[in-house]
Structure 1
Amino acid sequence: MLDTYKKYFRFLVKYRGMFVLFVLMLTVLGVINAINPYFYKLFVEALPEKNYQTILNILILYVGVNLLETGIDVIVYLLGDAVILRAARDVRERVFKKIQDLDFAYHMTNSSGSLISVLKRGDLAYFGMFHELNGLYRILVHLILMLVMFGAINGQIAWLMGASFVISAIASKYLLAYNLTTRKAFNKQEDNVSAVIVDNLINYETVKYFGKEVKEQRRLSKAFVLWIKTLWGFANSFRLIDIVIGLISAAGLWVVLHRTFTLYMSDVIQFSDFILILGFVTSF
């Protein structure tokens, strides 16, 4: 897995300046997005005082931060596209060169259809990996800021939230390993289906000349049997992730909010702190 990430980042850091700027802006975006619940605390503290100017200042700041978030979000996507489009082009050129460097025997013993399927899947995977890792990075920024905020209010809340995240991360490790196993099994069958379809099109004249249309249709139908089976396994692995992570998240939410409620009833924290914590855990 580490080797995969090294290969992935090798093409991105080729455009180091733009990539670093992209990461910096993504970090700023993550921070701005994460601090929104803090405004709930400010509003709760200011509204009972009925100080028009104070409330108006908070409102202006809140709207301004949201406008800033929108602008930075656009910039982040522009920078990200500028990096990933160039990197994806470089990846395709490198893969194409690799295929050209392979000997004739390799191409004779491998289906053109399966190779095309692998190439297409590789293109989609590179873009998908880029966006998924960006999302995970924003979650990490959100988590760090949230733990800092919770620690400033009460250390117990920060530890409980951190423990919930660690348990989710450990469970995710095994769930993703299972997901990858089912994905590999499905990819193999997807390549087989693509091989039948593409090879049939490449040899279309031969198939028509010898009247093998029915035989080719049966080949495709047979290939789809395992394709459907492995696709169900792959799809159900996501349902398993949803169930397990959902249960862990719900348990963590209960523990954190119950402890927060207990601290509030004991006058350890203020009502505005309770709203802040509630805002963070429901937006995470």
Structure 2
Amino acid sequence: MANTKKTISADASNPLGTLVNLWPYMWPEGRADLKARVIWATFYLFLAKFVLLTVPYFFKWATDALNGKLDMAGILPAFLLGAVVLVIALNFTRILQVGLNQLRDALFASVGQYAVRQLAYRTFVHMHQLSLRFHLERKTGGLSRIIERGTKGIETIVRFTILNTVPTLLEFVLTAVIFWVSYGFWYVAVTAVTVALYIWFTVKASDWRIAIRRSMNDSDTDANTKAIDSLLNFETVKYFGNEEMEAKRFDSSMARYEKAATDVWTSLGWLNFGQGVIFGLGTTVMMVMSALAVQRGEQTIGDFVFVNALLLQLSVPLNFIGFVYREIRQGLTDIEQMFELLEVQPEVVDRPDAKPLDIAQGSISFKDVHFSYDAARPILKGVSFDVPAGKTVAIVGPSGAGKSTISRLLYRFYDIQDGSITIDGQDVRDLTQHSLRAAIGMVPQDTVLFNDTIAYNIRYGRPSATEEEVLAAADVAQIGHFISALPDGFETKVGERGLKLSGGEKQRVAIARTVLKAPPILILDEATSALDTTTEHEIQSALDVVSRNRTTLVIAHRLSTVIGADEIIVLRDGRIAERGTHSSLLDQNGLYASMWNRQREAVQAEEQLRKVRESDDLGVVLRGVPAAE
């Protein structure tokens, strides 16, 4: 799908500017079929307006014919001089006008929906282009509601702008001309004053309602955010029995939404009432003027009916102008947050001369890397190390030392402040992000799966993979037998974020996904730290197979998983405190040795506790067995 790069902004105080920015979506480049639909829809739109203006004339002529005052011989065809025929013609023009309007709507439907699709697509793509920092700070529920309201607002603005605003203004002009030619200046003056007061009041009242609408939108976003967040943390809510607290938080947001929504409808009532009063007074003045003219013999009953019919006909677009203005302003209010999202600039972007990664061996080099998420709190303070091609280097250290930050920088989720990160001598900042990430495979600590089938989640590593390749990847990850034993096999749904699977099963799916991707560089970011000892050993054996002959960077918490690494780097406070092999680091008797001893003691204590529990369980069982007689 084509993706226009034009910057879009929404400003509720400048609807015209927003409409200008939306024009490329209403008149899409390269879509001659849609442009033709716009042209034909516009043609039928204007034709419908001209047909509509004949309705009061037929009403007038039919009235005069019934009253014996019709004087249109030589102007109307002879077959139209009868009252019954004129009544039929009157209603035929009404039907024709409705038909032309529906034809217009049908032709324009695909144009409006294409605009919605284009902007929704652009927003979705833009969300994936934004930095990791943005997504770590976002509120998913509120974000989805902003996009939902924004796309609906776009449809409203596009449809009302093209289909209603211009022809309605044309109808005002034609009505004024008809009054001027047929009845003189004062009818035009009263019409102009009525329309001016009507539009002035509508604009002022609608602007007042915008603030109320914003409040309602904010409350709606807040309620949706709390609902989504609570449902995503369903298990946590259950663990602590806080269903009532979550319900109260949600209800408090809905209470604010209820008040704002009530104010919206109340203000709409006042708006409609004020519009009715203004137009009613204008109609009264003009009908009195016409009635007096009839009494003086200056006008016929048909003229009186004509004035009334034309005013009633004018009330529809007048009321619609108010409605259109309200909807456009409210639509702008709805989409301004969406456009604000589109205006958020990605933190990491490809350089204009960025090149694809040309990977030959896959060696990684960090040279004097400095990085901080916040300038006041440095994370990495001059880190330098190499990962030779086909070798395994492990990064260990206390929590907060900067271990996971290294994997994020290699993926270029963030750009470093100083130093360089290279792959085969190519600075990652000079490469396209797509080619860089295509060369790296990740098995994270917290594996989040799509709410789809196991096959879909494994194939996500390479969507073009065949079924045989998916099966082979599952076997390498030691999960093929488990999947085959499931009733639905690879078509088994894993649930929201993969919650239907255990931690070990999710990790194996993540490994299979990475195996299928077959990247030359592999990152294992604490891939086993959340698993029990038995599952860890099973997963570790699968990881050993996957990392064989690949350049591998291991971010580890459990030191037992990195004993076989070619080099172990110990981070502390953003600097490299120690480095070497497992045995050489133990000989140094420093930070690594201290961490190793603490973890070994913890494992030994856990093993002793397990044996005690098994012994107690055995004693309970034996005490429950009757003594032999």
Q: TM-score, normalised by structure 2?
A: 0.43
After TM superposition, give the deviation of residue 142 of structure 1 in Å: 3.1
Shift of residue 131 of structure 1? 4.2
Offset at residue 252 of structure 1 (A): 1.0
CA RMSD in angstroms comes to 2.3
Deviates more, 1:4-13 or 1:156-165: 4-13
CA distance in 2, matches of 1:245, 1:72: 28
1:17 maps to which residue? 36
Structure 1 residues 159 and 267, CA, compared in 2 at 3 Å: closer, same or farther? same
- Provide the residue aligned with 1:227 in structure 2: 257
* CA apart distance, 1:35: 2.5
Residue 4 of structure 1 is aligned with which of 9, 18, 21? Answer: 18
3-state SS, counterpart of residue 267 of structure 1: coil
Greater RCO (CA < 8 Å, at least 6 residues apart): 1
- Counterpart for residue 30 of structure 1: 49
8 A contact 1:197–1:220 mirrored in 2: yes
Q: Is the 8 A contact 1:114 1:194 kept in 2?
A: yes
Does structure 2 retain, via aligned residues, the 8 Å contact 1:179–1:237? yes
> Is structure 2 residue 150 aligned with structure 1 residue 122?
yes
Is the Cα contact below 8 Å between 1:42 and 1:272 reproduced in 2?
Answer: yes
Q: Does 1:251 align with 2:281?
A: yes
Q: Percent identity between the aligned chains?
A: 19
Instruction: Please say if 1:75 is aligned against 2:94.
Output: no
Matched residue SS, 2:241: coil
Greater helix proportion: 1
Query: Is the CA contact 2:112–2:158 (under 8 Å) kept in the aligned structure 1?
Result: yes
Structure 2 counterpart of 1:17, which letter? Answer: A
Select between 159-168 and 56-65 the one with higher mean Cα deviation: 56-65
Cα drift, residue 63 of structure 1:
4.5
Q: Give the Cα separation in 1 of the matches to 2:149 and 2:46.
A: 29
Counterpart of 1:152 in structure 2 is 181
What aligned pairs does 1:1-284 form with structure 2 within 5 A after superposition?
Answer: 1=14, 2-14=16-28, 15-49=34-68, 53=79, 54-55=81-82, 57-133=85-161, 134-155=163-184, 156-283=186-313, 284=315
CA distance in 1: counterparts of 2:300 and 2:88, whole angstroms: 24
Shift of 1:145: 2.5
Q: Which runs of 4+ in 1 moved over 6 A?
A: none
Report the Cα offset of residue 192 of structure 1.
0.2
Query: How many angstroms does 1:136 deviate by?
Result: 4.0
Identify the range of structure 1 (249-258 vs 25-34) with the bigger mean alpha-carbon deviation: 25-34
For residues 110-156 of structure 1, the C-alpha deviation after alignment (integer angstroms, 9 at most, x for no partner) is: 21010111111112222233444434444333322322221121221
**C-alpha deviation, 1:81, in angstroms:** 0.6
In structure 1, what is the Cα distance between the partners aligned to 2:85 and 2:264?
A: 51
Give the counterpart letter for 1:78 in structure 2: A
Using the alignment, how far apart are the partners of 1:240 and 1:9 within structure 2? 33
Partner amino acid for 1:43? A
Moved more, 157-166 or 229-238: 229-238
Mapped to 1, the partners of 2:24 and 2:297 lie a distance apart of: 53
Is the contact between residue 12 and residue 87 of structure 1 (CA under 8 Å) also seen in structure 2?
yes
In the aligned structure 2, how far is the partner of 1:251 from the partner of 1:78? Answer: 37
Amino acid at match of 1:246: G
Describe the SS at the equivalent of 2:298. coil
What secondary structure is seen at the aligned counterpart in 2 of 1:81? helix
Deviation at 1:267, TM superposition (A): 3.0
Mean CA deviation greater in 199-208 or 167-176: 199-208
1:114 and 1:195 in contact (8 A); partners too: yes
Give the counterpart letter for 2:188 in structure 1.
Answer: A
Which residue of the partner structure matches residue 518 of structure 2?
A: none
Structure 2 residues not aligned, in runs of 5+? 1-13, 29-33, 71-77, 316-629
- Separation in structure 2 between the aligned mates of residue 198 and residue 130 of structure 1, nearest angstrom: 30
Q: Which amino acid aligns with 2:25?
A: F
Name the SS of the counterpart of 2:27 in structure 1: helix
Aligned residues: 284
Letter paired with 2:177: V
SS at match of 1:269: coil
Larger radius of gyration: 2
Flag the 1:11–1:131 CA change in 2: closer, same or farther, 3 A.
closer
Aligned-residue offset at 1:64: 3.9
| Residues 222 and 269 (structure 1), Cα distance of their counterparts in 2 relative to 1, 3 Å cut | same
CA distance in 1, matches of 2:289, 2:280: 14
Structure 1 residues 146-167: Cα deviation after superposition (integer angstroms, max 9, x where no partner): 2222112122112211210011
